Chains A and B, each alone.
Chain A
Amino acid sequence: MPNESNSLRLAGLVKTAVELAPESRAAFLDEECYFDPAMRAEIESLLQQEEGLSEFIKEPALNFVAESLLGRGALSPGEVISHYDIISLIGSGGMGEVYLAQDRQLDRRVALKLIRRGLNSEDIIRHFKREEHLLASLNHPNVAQLYGSGLTADGVPFFVMEYVEGARLDHYCDEQKLSIPERLQLFRKICSAVSYAHQHLVIHRDIKPANIRVTAEGEPKLLDFGIAKLLGDETAVAEQTMTLAWVMTAEYASPEQVRGETMTTASDIYSLGVVLYELLTSQRPYRLTSRRPEEISRAITEQQPARPSSMSTLPQPQCLRGDLDNIVLMAMRKEPARRYESAAQFSADIQRHLEELPVLARRDTLAYRSGKFVKRNRIGVAAGALILLSMLGGIVATTWQARTARREKANAESVSAFLEKTLGYSNPLVDLAGKPQDETTITDVLDEAGRQLESAEFATQPEVRADLERTIAKGYFGQGRRDLWVKHLKKYVDIQRSIGAKNDAKTLVATANLAAIVENEDMKQSETLFREVLPQMKSAYRKGRITAADLAETLNNFGYLRRTQGDSKKAETLFREVLALAPKLPGDEPFVLGLTRSTLASTLADQGKFAEALQTARETVATYLQSGRTDTADFAFSLTILGGFLTEQGDFAGADTNLAQGEAILRKRQGAAALWLGDNLRNQAISFYRQAQYTLAAGKAAEAKRIYLESYGPSYDNYPTVLIVEGLILNETGRSAEGEIVLREALRIRLESLPKSHFWVALAQGALGECLATQRRFSEADPLLVDSYNNLAQKLGSRDPRTRAALKRLIAFYDSCAKPEQASRLRPML
């Protein structure tokens, strides 16, 4: 119907027609629509729907969906667990129930897995808390992210995971009628996820098609990484044997798992082998006459699986003969040591097959089985490197946040304990460092690893060396060893840039790293690198080739640089881009983004948006308080920032409370958090200085200065700031000449690294001017104080507290040097 009056007419006619007896309708329509056959056709098409109409949407919508809306689980739709709104029950099984839920804080869908009652809640939560960091740091496109855990009000543990919409791997392959090469490509993505997790010290332990989902975009996602471990250690497997769920999926378990032995990365490789077996044959690998647990166990530990080519019900099973038979059976060998060494190697062998190159896998003849097949030479170096890599991978896992956020590192005990418990290695820390475990530090391990990398063996394996250099660099960063971090990171970047294509994801990330490293030495070069790499990274991120974390890290680092260069407006934009990536970042929000918010607050203050800055700082602190993560260094950092703003505002009581709370947290930390302690003490020094408590202020400033120099050196952005405080305190305590030296040093550093118009320069000028005025060197002080005020008024606006302080200082100056007319001219501006 083309226009409104026609629509209304149509409605009126239909409503009337419906009420007429069927036999009168024709006459009615004849009359009404005599000149409008189109209208008549339209009415008749609607009237055709009349039959059975009384049943159409008869019942209210709620009645249809009540069943699924309400579900049958322990939790009900509408119920709120922590900050998750339960939407519906989406699955249940031996382990518990899974719900679709909405995360209120992050406004995203999540899967909430409620653990069945009866499993030991306390153990689960204790295990989880210990490994949360590792599990939550798994951030890979083919791994469903674990976000966190908690307890319901009734004390039932739950896990919160990325919500994955998709079909089970095996169903997906069948429904999409994927060809064998397509299945293999899909499977390789799963291998990459497993390989990634292994490098991050996480073993899945329960790989099976039900735990692998394929999204509508065709991306496979592995669910429940590491969860099996949290629900009980290997000894529990024997008991699990009797459950129905176990019997149904037992064939994916490795022989060592069935025997109750330690599971390693090789156990996951075995399970991957079974999954591939099934994808290529649509059959399970063992011929069983019953599903009695004993028989299944025996088959897994003793029976040689039939060759896939002889079992497959897919079209063209003959193409499995040879390579693919060998590849699948190699992954499924009974002895863990004789399987593929890694998921990456498994995947590479499949790729070689697809490219029709010779594969590693050989037919597992009796000769091989009896151990005559020795490939010791090849295994030697590579295996050593892999063990090292996976061991240090744990450090990688926990340092993303550290790098981005300059936060502290996991300690040696937890890494060591984790290695021993999870991977079941004989303690490699002892071997590496030649010391008993409890005396071995991460630094020892890193030093040893660094030495090994210098040896000739790695010269022919630049990829392995590059990865290890990067890993070691991250390890040093976590230990607060900036010098060694820079050294190894530069090596990594050099190698990576020499072996990778220019727009290769790894090379992009390496270049971004380099940009961040050179910031302190050469800001211009750093800026050029960032400008070159950032658009490429954004494009790579959109294509899914780099992670949100990589992009966020680069945005953050570029933001720090732009702020240091005086372009806080651009810095603000960059930090806001990071915040927009929030839902895609690993871990809990305050943990990852609190720092970005705190720094954003500083950039707002830089631009004179002081009220907004203060508000942002308050909100950041409030977010932490709500989330309960109040024992973290990043929370302490947010208190430091807020305290600084409150000082500027003259709220000294508020400032001191926040700063003291932050200090208490940071005192318990070591490593990378040291600089934050320095920042906190510096802000306390400023607050005490403002309150004329000079002794206290001097003590805080001295410690802050020492920390800055020890953990970073004089090129640290905030070093001149602490010099300014120190100089001003000296000036106030009758030691103006000493103060002048310190303040001149601060100004010199600022002018050396910043443009003259930067407001940080103005702050240094103002302090020096004040010191000179105290010494009654008015003609020297005058230009400094005027420049300082003008610059601040221009950069921050006349209402900013720092500008007003500079103005007050200038007025006091004119008063003291007997220029009352100048003072009174300025006074109304206050």
Chain B
Amino acid sequence: MHSATKTDATQILKEWSEGDKDAPARLMPLIYEELRRRAAEYLRHERPDHTLQATALVHEAYLKLIDQNRVDWKTRAHFCGVAAQLMRRVLLEHARGHNAEKRGGKLEKLYLDETHELSDERAPDLIALDDALKSFTSTYPREGEVVELKFFGGLEANEIAEVLDVSQKTVLRDWNFAKLWLRRELGGDRACA
């Protein structure tokens, strides 16, 4: 990471907390690049088992991008909010690409010689969940944001409370309500666990 980017990102965050409405748009590409770069690094070196923690990813990106000495807790909260949105976008994009291969019933891989096929893994239907979340958020914006921060951004309740500037108890109440609603919307106790 170039220090220029670090200065940029920090500066944009500050401007945002001072009320600049365009700041998120400028911040997004910086965070996006960093998240992707870090995800790729994980694959290459760090975790042979490929378990990648969303929280760790966001936190590391934050540490990398933002000069801690120049921002307060509130700007950090802004950052995590944007990062969660980005993660949601990236993961959905990935899920769509991945699902496209499965069209027609069984898992179909493209351009395969007969020798290898990639294994699928049990995963929640992210696309359906995302659709349900969109509809939920239109009625319950804050509760929806809690889900975005927790499920896509990997943040813990105390961090979410910070981002949304509400109590931790409110976050937990929102989270439970959202889960009930989403689970019903998705057709009951499906294999999302």
List residues of chain A with CB under 8 Å of any chain B CB. 1, 4, 7, 11, 14-15, 18-19, 45-53, 55-58, 60-72, 76-79, 87-95, 98, 100, 109, 111, 113, 163-168, 171-172, 175, 210, 213, 216, 223-224, 244-245, 248-249
Contacts and interface: CB of A to CB of B under 8 A. Distances in A.
Nearest to B173: A15
Contacts of B152: 60-62
Contact of A77 (B40, B53, B104, B120): B40
Interface stretch (B2-10, B15-23, B44-52, B74-82): B44-52
Nearest to A249: B114
B131 to A, nearest CB: 14
B117 to A, nearest CB: 8
B25 interface: no
Nearest to A163: B110
Contacts of A248: 113-115
Contact of A92 (B94, B104, B118): B118
Contacts of A210: 111-114
Given A93-B111, A113-B111, A62 B57 contact: yes
Interface in B152-193: 152-154, 173-174, 176-177, 179-184, 188-189, 192-193
A60 B53 contact: yes
A223 B109 CA distance: 13
B28 interface: no
A213 B112 CA distance: 11
5 contacts: A11-B140, A15-B176, A49-B183, A70-B40, A90-B110
B70 interface: no
A91 B93 contact: no
Interface centre among A55, A68, A244, A249 (most CB of B within 10 A): A68
Contact of A78 (B36, B101, B126, B184): B36
Contacts of B36: 77-78
Contacts of B120: 68
Contact of A60 (B94, B97, B112, B153): B153
B115 to A, nearest CB: 5
A44 B44 CA distance: 48
B114 A45 contact: no
B49 to A, nearest CB: 9
Contacts of B51: 63, 66
Contacts of B110: 90-91, 98, 100, 111, 163-166, 213
Interface centre among B53, B98, B108, B126 (most CB of A within 10 A): B108
B: interface residue count bin: 35 or more
A60 B148 CA distance: 10
A70 B87 contact: no
Contact of A216 (B91, B98, B104, B126): B104
Nearest to A167: B104
Given A58-B193, A61-B54, A165 B103 contact: yes
Nearest to B184: A49
A472 B110 CA distance: 39
Contacts of B114: 93, 210, 245, 248-249
A418 to B, nearest CB: 26
Contact of A66 (B37, B52, B180, B188): B52
Interface of B: 35-37, 39-40, 42-44, 50-55, 57, 87-88, 91, 93-95, 97-98, 100-101, 103-106, 108-118, 120-124, 126, 129, 139-140, 143, 147, 150-154, 173-174, 176-177, 179-184, 188-189, 192-193
B132 to A, nearest CB: 11
B91 A62 contact: yes
Given A47-B180, A56-B193, A60-B153, 4 more contacts: A60-B151, A62-B53, A64-B121, A100-B110
Contact of B184 (A15, A45, A51, A224): A45
A177 to B, nearest CB: 12
B184 to A, nearest CB: 5
A171 B106 contact: yes
Contact of A11 (B39, B123, B143): B143
Contacts of A58: 193
Contact of A67 (B50, B95, B174, B188): B50
A49 B179 CA distance: 9
B43 A46 contact: no
B119 to A, nearest CB: 8
A168 B108 contact: yes
Contacts of A216: 103-104
A71 B95 CA distance: 13
A163 B171 CA distance: 42
Nearest to B148: A61
B76 to A, nearest CB: 19
A76 B105 contact: no
B43 A88 contact: no
Contacts of A78: 35-37, 39-40
A65 B91 contact: yes
Given A53-B176, A93-B112, A245-B114, A63 B104 contact: no
Nearest to B117: A91
A111 B154 CA distance: 31
A43 to B, nearest CB: 10
A7 B140 contact: yes
A15 B37 CA distance: 39
A20 B105 CA distance: 44
A333 to B, nearest CB: 26
A390 B55 CA distance: 59
Interface centre among A7, A14, A93, A113 (most CB of B within 10 A): A93
A68 B98 contact: yes
Nearest to B188: A49
B94 A68 contact: yes
A91 B179 contact: no
A62 B154 contact: yes
A98 B43 CA distance: 17
Contacts of A77: 36, 39-40, 43, 94
Contacts of A11: 140, 143, 177
Contacts of A92: 112, 116, 118
Contacts of A98: 110-112
Contacts of B88: 61
Nearest to A109: B97
Contact of B44 (A76, A93, A213): A76
Interface centre among B114, B173, B184, B188 (most CB of A within 10 A): B114
Nearest to B55: A60
Contact of A14 (B35, B121, B180, B183): B180
Contacts of A163: 110
B101 to A, nearest CB: 6
B113 A249 contact: yes
A51 B189 contact: yes
A49 B193 contact: no
A785 B114 CA distance: 77
A45 B124 CA distance: 22
A1 B181 CA distance: 13
Given A47-B180, A100-B97, A60 B116 contact: no
A53 to B, nearest CB: 6
